[in-house]
Chain A
Amino acid sequence: MNRILSFRMRIGLAIVLAMLMVLSGRLFHLQGLDPAGYAQEAVSARLHTVEVPGTRGDILDAQNRVMATAVEHYDIVADPRITGDYTIYDEQMDLQRPVTVEETAAELAELLSEDRQEILEKLTDDDTHYSVIARSVTPETRRKIMELQAPGIYAEPVSQRTYPSGAVAGSIIGFMGADGPLEGLERAADDRLSGEPGQRIYEVGADGVRIPTATYEEIPAQDGQDIRLTLNQDLQWFAQEAIAEKTAEYNAQWGNATVADLRTGEILAMADSETVDPAQPGQSDELFRRPLALTQAFEPGSGGKSITFAMALEEGVVEPEDAFDVPDRYTVDGETIQDARPHEEFPMTAAGIYARSYNTGTVMIGNQVDEQTRYEYLRRVGFGEPLDIGMGIEAPSRLRSPEEWDNRQPFTTQFGQGYTGSVLHMVQLYQMIANDGVKKPLSIIDAYIDPDGTEHPVQTEQERIFSSETSEEMLRLMEGVVDYGSGRGAAIEGYRVGGKTGTAQAAGESGGFDGFTVNFIGVAPLDDPQYLVSVTVHRPEGRFGDWDVTDTFSEIMGYTLASYDVPPSGAESESYDGFVGDRQEYPW
């Protein structure tokens, strides 16, 4: 008996020992070899990380009106491993009611206005455990979908952009695609708008439920900065309506109206004849998805004569009332310069040449300065260099150096031909002429605003280009254009207005010229220059001389002056005489 017992005990002991060996071996394996690694593996098997997106910043106008903002929408996703038939408690019938996956698909299709078959395929696709059923649905739709209580269908919050003002400044604001920003400020300032996503980390048990007492960490998301523009939403709309009307009148390819505060260089409106609606970018022609003032380069035409006149005044080679005999044809160095229309030879002042925009007289004045200096002035006012206002698009300008000029270019460049620039190049030019000769770089972004309200204004550096005297004389020359020159339609009752008309030939795609660009840039009030409006119409239909954009100018300028509370002064014009002698009336 004793023997048997001891034998059994030995066997049992041996088994116990063997098990102990296995356990201690495993213990040694876990605790001795790589304890930290195993612990880590266990934790990471339980840890779940969910990305928490930061809220995208708003885009505001100068009066803090929202032009683009983010609202919470939801992506509806399905996990086809879990979706399927299920039962739901029906309150009306007071019993459990079975619901097939086909019925779920039908209900979803109705709520999302999508194809039922497509949704069913997504719900039953066994190859994936993540299929997106609908993107960016409203909270209301999400609520209705969640009320179905279908298993395996989730709503993931996503940020959706809305543009309350639609097509007002649409090309400037830009728009978003499915994978991110595509155009405009949405793209150019994406780094500042988007912020930093945060994380939510927690542990889940084997049943998929969060373990309440375990790790719970939340790295808060950093919201993006807001961007306040210099634009005035109402003025932008008014300018868009006005330029669209003018462009439609001439059935032109495009039109642009730009308004700037010339004392600060701030762009108040940059309106195109047609503007993309950021909510439906696909519906607009590609041309109108970006600001035309930045993308389109054209020959400035007579508007470029201002550079020649400002240079001549600055260099002291001419005074505004110096006399010239101005014919309609003028030959110099074997090149004949013609005016747009034939006319008699007039005894004119420099101011008169500017007001009537005669090419011949302009070359007479410009030729008093050497070629290199003329080129340098063109460069100084910004031509030949791209212009950047922080929109991610550089406004192009082409100006060859004098060495590359052909025989004609030394003269044509004096009256705005033979080089190109954008609307903004022209606006910048007149800004510096009218602002006492001081260039304030054009800007469209006023400030970046942190989520806590701290503002970071965008600073620009000013630079003196012309003297005060030149600026003053140029303003009086520009007043002559409106008083008795080529831009009489630009007058606004009660205000002193100055400006310059311009018509240039537009180069066709296949070389040569096959159209025109008509523009007018004006400044008001001349007693204390504050605002600048540029109106440009590209390729209007009709014949040369049929077009007049000054009425659009005075409409927009009148609205600008009224909305910024600039009172009319009723002051007398200070324009120079256009002709030598007492007689001031001459035929055109």
Chain B
Amino acid sequence: MSVLPVTELRPARTQEGSARPSQDDRPALKALPRVRGRQKGLIAAVLALLLAALAAVLVVNIHVANTQYRVVQMQNEHQSLVHENEMLTQQVQHRESPQSLSNAAATLGMVMPAAAGTFDLETSELVNGAEEASSHNRPTNFVSTPAAPGAEAIAPVDISDQVDGAPTGLLGAGALHTLNAFDGGQNGAGVETAESGGAADTGGGTIPAPRLN
């Protein structure tokens, strides 16, 4: 590829010396068309639209960022709730284990049951008589109790914290009071029971016996 000299590229017309077009005939040279009033409005509208879009993007961005932040926060909250729930489930399972139940029963002063009495309802006969449970026959403790979960983590829920919301009477705060007041081992002791309304009613236990009228 070769490059031609610039002179050779000039139009032939000038060299022929033909008359130049007059000044008036020239078209008006302008880089931009003249802005008319209507066009001004259009431009303003476009600019406004641009700004609005920019603002919208900004708002959306801020909103997304905020939401993202909230999502993370809620995820964390969810996770900690899941963990707490898991911990509480573990505590319930631990308390449901036979060893824990047995220990809890022994703490409340319960003993192993003796033979239960049985009636035959059809013949109204006693099939076998009930025996008195021996107060010395406590559950044995050969099977070790598993370690309570979460001893080093969330403190075990103390039911007495929830007394306020609990129903009153023997099923609610009353039961809690009973549990808290007598911490076991009082079979036949009768000291607390005498204070709380007469040993005759309770037969040495903590729950008043039903009365015959």
Contact = CB atoms under 8 A, between A and B. Distances in A.
Contact of B115 (A71, A162, A493, A569): A493
B98 A570 contact: no
Interface of A: 2, 6, 9, 65-66, 69, 71-72, 138-141, 143, 162-168, 233-234, 236-238, 240-241, 244-245, 248, 275, 277, 279, 493-494, 558, 562, 567-570
Interface in B79-94: 79-80, 82-83, 86-87, 90, 93-94
Contacts of A245: 140, 142
B127 A165 contact: no
A141 B153 contact: yes
A163 B80 CA distance: 22
Contacts of B150: 138, 140
Contacts, number: 105
B96 A65 contact: yes
A72 B149 CA distance: 13
A244 B127 contact: no
9 contacts: A9-B3, A140-B150, A140-B153, A140-B154, A141-B153, A165-B99, A244-B142, A493-B115, A568-B118
A248 B98 contact: no
A238 B94 CA distance: 17
A240 B90 contact: no
Nearest to A280: B147
B145 interface: yes
B83 A72 contact: yes
Given A140-B153, A493-B128, A568-B118, A164 B98 contact: no
B208 interface: no
Interface string B108-132: 0000000110101000010110000
Contacts of A279: 146-147
B118 to A, nearest CB: 5
B6 interface: yes
A240 B102 CA distance: 13
Interface residues of B, number: 38
Interface string B143-174: 11111011011100000000000000000000
Given A72-B86, A240-B143, A241-B139, A494 B98 contact: no
Given A165-B98, A494-B118, A570-B120, A66 B144 contact: no
Listed from nearest, the 10 A-B pairs whose CB atoms lie closest are A166-B146, A237-B98, A164-B93, A244-B142, A140-B153, A139-B83, A494-B128, A165-B97, A570-B127, A241-B140
Nearest to A283: B144
Q: Which of B98, B141, B150 has the most CB of A within 10 A?
A: B98
Nearest to B1: A13
B157 to A, nearest CB: 15
Given A166-B144, A570-B120, 12 more contacts: A2-B6, A65-B96, A140-B83, A162-B90, A166-B145, A167-B144, A167-B146, A168-B97, A244-B143, A494-B115, A567-B118, A568-B128
Nearest to B147: A279
Contacts of B149: 162, 164
Given A166-B145, A245-B142, A562 B99 contact: no
